[in-house]
Amino acid sequence: MSVHVAVVGATGAVGDLMRKVLAERNFPVRSIKFLASEKSAGKTVEFAGQQYTVEPIRPEAFQGVQIVLSSTPSSVSREFSPVAAKAGAIVIDNSSAWRMDPDCPLVVPEVNAHELHNIKKGIVANPNCVAIPLCVALKPLHDLARVKRVVVATYQSSSGKGAKGLLDFHAQLTAWAAGQPVPAPTAHRAQLAGNVVTLDWTLDPNGFTEEENKVINETKKIMGDPSIGVCPTCVRVPVRVAHSEAITVEFHRPLAVAEAKAALAKAPGIVFMDETIDGRFPQPIHAEGSDHTFVGRVRQDPSHPNALCLWVVADNLRKGAASNAVQCAEELVRRGIVK
């Protein structure tokens, strides 16, 4: 079976990666088109050895398309995702526009792919880049002992700010490493080279940042349990690609470390590293370029008998964005939702 596909926001960092991931994973494409803003329309992109001209985003571009992979600002998605859905496509949207809409499933395939059978508006929301690997790691443990509360501190890479973030970080790092004055930040909210930044996002009225509130709300929705307590602290660190997370999980019953390790080692989408066996532990350099979630440092919380601590790393551009969206598309085809 092959599918008519459109990639929207095709010239952006995530859109460009969606195109590459589709090819890498041999997604069954019958036809494909690439859409972007008027400013980018007319550019050419390569897919599967062929050159394609980027088209402007407009209603008629969605005719005959079955799956739309979209990575645009939320305002653009709010305008055009319903248009694409009305034309008959299922939109997998990477913006935050639809994530908390009760009629739009928020999907991580390893966790809640069954929600793809409940697409009421023709839109599937792709979750936040922290919530995705967090839930991938929580799912096998939740199945064993049911998660009660999660405390997570993130170590988020510069690429979370897109290409502008990486350019900003590179300029800072070059100057900092040479002992020269570090230029003022342009994408990040403070100097990132040789530093960490815990307010690299908008501060919301509740004292948490916009990013932290996304992790709270999206984790509950993905896990399908609004009773789960989530307390995040999101931090930008001087790393190019891949987000890391230090997680403490409280369960409704005690869960042995050995039982948790065994479940994680066989869980889909996880590369488990057991430092007690071979000394290996997850690092951003392992995750960069991978579609897997890397998990390690599983240990008993010494302060609570029902809690474990673990360390999680994933490529924020791939598993945290583009690859998760393509995996959702694969599930739509595998389950016969798109024919």
Is 281 among the domain residues? yes
Q: What are phi and psi of 148, to 5 degrees?
A: -105, -40
For 285-328, what is each residue's pLDDT tens digit? 999 999 999 999 999 999 999 999 999 999 999 999 999 999 99
299 and 325 housed in the same domain: no
121 and 143 housed in the same domain: no
- Average pLDDT for the chain: 97
Q: How many structural domains does the chain have?
A: 2
202 and 96 housed in the same domain: no
| DSSP codes of every residue in 51-92 | EEEPEEP-GGGGTT-SEEEE---HHHHHHHHHHHHHTTPEEE
39 and 176 housed in the same domain: no
Query: Given 4, 142, 188, 243, which residue is catalytic?
Result: 243
Is 199 among the domain residues? yes
295 and 195 housed in the same domain: yes
User: Could you confirm whether 129 is annotated as catalytic?
Assistant: yes
Query: Given 104, 129, 234, 328, which residue is catalytic?
Result: 129
For 4-60, what is each residue's pLDDT tens digit? 999 999 998 899 999 999 999 999 999 999 999 999 999 999 999 999 999 999 999
Q: What is the CA radius of gyration of the chain?
A: 20
Is 219 among the domain residues? yes
Please, which contacts does 226-232 make with residues 24 or more away whose CB atoms are closer than 8 Å? 227/148, 228/147, 228/148, 228/149, 228/150, 229/148, 229/149, 229/150, 230/149, 230/150, 230/152, 231/149, 231/150, 231/151, 231/152, 232/130, 232/151, 232/152, 232/153, 232/154, 232/208
248 and 123 housed in the same domain: no
273 and 166 housed in the same domain: yes
Edge-to-edge order in the sheet of strand 307-314 = 229-233, 147-155, 243-251, 307-314, 293-300, 270-272
DSSP-assigned beta bridge partners for residue 44: 53
Is 212 among the domain residues? yes
Instruction: Give mean pLDDT, residues 251-261.
Output: 98
For 122-148, what is each residue's pLDDT tens digit? 999 999 999 999 999 999 999 999 999
For 45-84, what is each residue's pLDDT tens digit? 999 999 999 999 999 999 999 999 999 999 999 999 999 9
Tokens of 332: 């739509």
119 and 265 housed in the same domain: no
Q: Percentage of the chain surpassing pLDDT 70?
A: 100
Q: Are 155 and 239 in contact (CB under 8 A)?
A: yes
Give the domain range for residue 224.
131-316
CATH number for the domain harbouring residue 295: 3.30.360.10
206 and 96 housed in the same domain: no
The predicted structure's pLDDT at residue 13: 86
209 and 290 housed in the same domain: yes
CATH number for the domain harbouring residue 74: 3.40.50.720
20 and 143 housed in the same domain: no
Is 93 among the domain residues? yes
What do you get for the CA distance between the two ends of the chain, in Å?
A: 7
Q: Which of 326, 335, 336 is nearest to 124 (CA)?
A: 326
307-314 and 243-251 beta bridge pairing: antiparallel
58 and 135 housed in the same domain: no
Is 325 among the domain residues? yes
Is 339 among the domain residues? no
Q: Percentage of the chain surpassing pLDDT 90?
A: 98
pTM: 0.96
Q: How far apart are CA 123 and CA 101, in angstroms?
A: 10
Is 310 among the domain residues? yes
